[in-house]
Homo-oligomer: A and B are copies of this chain.
């Protein structure tokens, strides 16, 4: 690629991408609301609020790839979710539609789009959504918007329902949802090099023994996660108490998001 845009580049996943996707494009354009520090020689740093329509248009122009990590990444009051994840995503896709070259997009969706499924249920890409929060609903919106821009305008998006992307699993639930940084980077490599992407739903989780999700339908992407949260089980057992059997953390795929109430302003 000529230019890869990383939104939300100041967040934890954004920093991973900024560091490790440099081989995917000649120029890496990084963006966030927060300070991103100085640009490296191969970088462009662009501050942008995703709810600013014309700002996003400028941000996207000239990029043939986008890793969209920006926006709100956990539950929040409705206004916050809406501005970042509804308005912001509309702005992003409108900008992509208007760009001279349509960029390919890796969209950070979330397991919270299907969070109310039971942990004993096996899901593939065709499972109807069951969001667990306003945040989860906003991710369903983003997936639907991307689907429409694909069917109507040919813009390709990988809808990555990220589980829990951290250096290591932090809770017992993450033994099922963990996505290692290495596997995430390998997934993004595949997304930007596969000849035809389409608009697939991909569960963003490593090859965890206790998996709930089945990526068989998208094997054509060629992504084979290599890590497994299981190697951290003993340490987790030693360090933290597991959830009680009736806690949302033990019942639902979305964990505590399912028991949290609406965040009032």
Residues of A within 8 A of B (CB): 78, 82, 86-87, 90, 94, 97, 116, 119-122, 125-126, 128-134, 136-137, 140-141, 144-145, 147-148, 151-152, 172, 175-176, 194-196, 198, 200-201, 209-212, 214, 216-224, 230, 242-243, 245, 250-251, 258, 262
A196 to chain B, nearest CB (A): 5
Does B210 lie within 8 Å of A245, measured CB to CB?
no
Q: Report the minimum CB–CB distance from A173 to chain B (whole Å).
A: 8
Does A220 contact B210, Cβ atoms closer than 8 Å? Answer: yes
Report how far A177 CA is from B7 CA in the complex, Å.
36
Q: In the complex, A224→B228 CA distance in Å?
A: 12
Q: How long is the Cα–Cα vector from A134 to B141 in the complex, in angstroms? A: 10
**CB-nearest residue of chain B relative to A141?**
B141
Known contacts A137-B144, A140-B144; is-contact A220 B176 (Cβ 8 Å): yes
Which residues of the partner chain B approach A116 to less than 8 Å between Cβ atoms?
A: 147-148, 151-152
Q: Min CB distance, A53 to chain B, in Å?
A: 9
**Copies assembled:** 6
Q: Is the CB of B210 within 8 A of A219?
A: yes
A117 CB to nearest chain B CB (Å):
10
Q: Bound state CA distance, A222 and B207, in angstroms?
A: 11
Q: Which residues of B contact A212 (CB under 8 A)?
A: 219-220
Find chain B residues with CB under 8 A from A262 CB: 94, 97
Is there contact, CB below 8 Å, between A90 and B78?
yes
Contacts A119-B220, A128-B201, A141-B144 known; list 14 others, CB within 8 Å.
A86-B141, A120-B220, A122-B220, A126-B126, A131-B148, A132-B152, A137-B144, A137-B145, A140-B140, A195-B245, A209-B219, A209-B222, A209-B223, A210-B221
